[in-house]
Amino acid sequence: MEGVAKPERFDIRLRLLCVGPLLVAAAVLTASPAAAATRELKSPRLSELGVASGPIRDSILSSSATRRLAAVASWGGTFTASTGEPVTINVSDTYPVDNARAQRWANFFGSLVHGSEISSVQVFLAPLDEVQQFCGQDALACYSPNQHLLVSPGDDPSADLSAEAVVTHEYGHHVANSRSDAPWAAIDYGTKRWSSYMQVCAKTAAGELFPGAEQDARYRLNPGEGFAESYRVLNQRRLGVAESPWQVVSNALYPDDTALSLIQQDILAPWNGNSQSTLSASLTKRAKTRTLSVATPLDGVFRVTIRAAKGERVGVDLLGNTGARISHTVVTGTSSRSLTTTVCGSRTYSVKLSLTKGSGRARATVSKA
């Protein structure tokens, strides 16, 4: 790149992290002795994105590290991205002051698939050795969910890994942190549609995935990291650049086209809470039993509230997709009762109404993700 110092080369050493039967090779990058003392902040160029390879292992920025980071000398501020949105970018004074390059970084963030969360992110760019003082010696970057603070290298951390790939992965954490996947934390489980499609809840219950795992070999099976990597893949494909190798998490989390499409939907049209609908069923002495089927395409909290007609007594059973009874209640007269469960992989529930007294139309109000 004309006018920019060549990126430093780093020696890549593999450390084996062993927990139970799993082994993970985590890249530990250390600066070569010949590294220049003064570095330059890289200027993002879309034609160069994604050409580098290597695992993107990151961490959660601790509260103590956040406090230490606040005392670091830096320059920068709030820049207006090419999309017209403000992006806060602070840069370690290890890099010479160059607001034009910081502006190009702001434009890069604007080029990613994003929503209003772009205005709340706090970006800190520094050389890798400085990043690791705050993020940990095995981490290439880190993110603070509470502070919305992203710490990442401002130049390529090695000849085999681009700064843009690392930053995109970290911004994926910020995207998830800014979305709801209630009753779970999206930063750990991923966004609502993506996590439902990837069966994160069901696979977590089965011991196949480990939301929030950051410190051991289960990191490879952390769906939050799988989401951030999938977000990187989505953006590299959209920008028409080479896709960095999928190395940091299990291939079981690698996104197909549907998964990438759902991530984009979760970003541009976020899930904002349960929807409600009303069903009804007429119960008589000849038709004492009715079963209402409810599709549940998304994981989350499912609640059905039954109100009987005057003089009626109705037994209510909430059934799973196998027909097994999850819960039961009885509704009498014009009173109402609710049954609640957590949708975790099941895509259909049934509400069975059984008349034991009177007749009339019973109504069911369904609340679901």
What domains are there in the chain, each with its CATH number? 10-268 (no CATH), 275-368 (2.60.120.380)
Q: Are 223 and 200 in contact (CB under 8 A)?
A: yes
pTM for this prediction:
0.84
* pLDDT attached to residue 39: 65
* pLDDT attached to residue 45: 54
* pLDDT attached to residue 83: 96
Q: Which letter, b or e, does each residue of 127-155 get, where b requires 16 or more Cβ atoms within 10 Å of its Cβ?
A: bbbbbbebbbebbbbbbbbeebbbbbbbb
HEC-encoded secondary structure of 258-326: HHHHHHHHHHHCCCCCCEEEEEEEEECCCCCEEEEEEECCCCEEEEEEEECCCCCEEEEEEECCCCCEE
* pLDDT attached to residue 214: 85
Interatomic CA distance for residues 278 and 29, integer angstroms: 58
Per-10-residue mean pLDDT of the chain, 369 residues long, equals: 31 27 30 43 56 58 84 94 97 96 97 98 96 91 95 90 94 98 98 98 98 89 97 97 91 98 98 96 96 97 96 96 95 94 97 96 97
* pLDDT attached to residue 2: 32
Both structure tokens of 103:
């502006």
Q: Are 296 and 346 in contact (CB under 8 A)?
A: yes
Q: Are 188 and 180 in contact (CB under 8 A)?
A: no
Both structure tokens of 187:
């930063």
Q: Are 110 and 22 in contact (CB under 8 A)?
A: no
Interatomic CA distance for residues 361 and 280, integer angstroms: 7
* pLDDT attached to residue 58: 76
Both structure tokens of 25:
């090779």
With CA atoms as reference, report the closest residue to 358 among 315, 305, 306: 315
* pLDDT attached to residue 38: 52
Measuring CA to CA, how many Å separate 197 from each of 190, 205, 264, 356? Answer: 11, 15, 13, 40
* pLDDT attached to residue 8: 31
Measuring CA to CA, how many Å separate 368 from each of 196, 198, 303? Answer: 13, 18, 7
* pLDDT attached to residue 212: 94
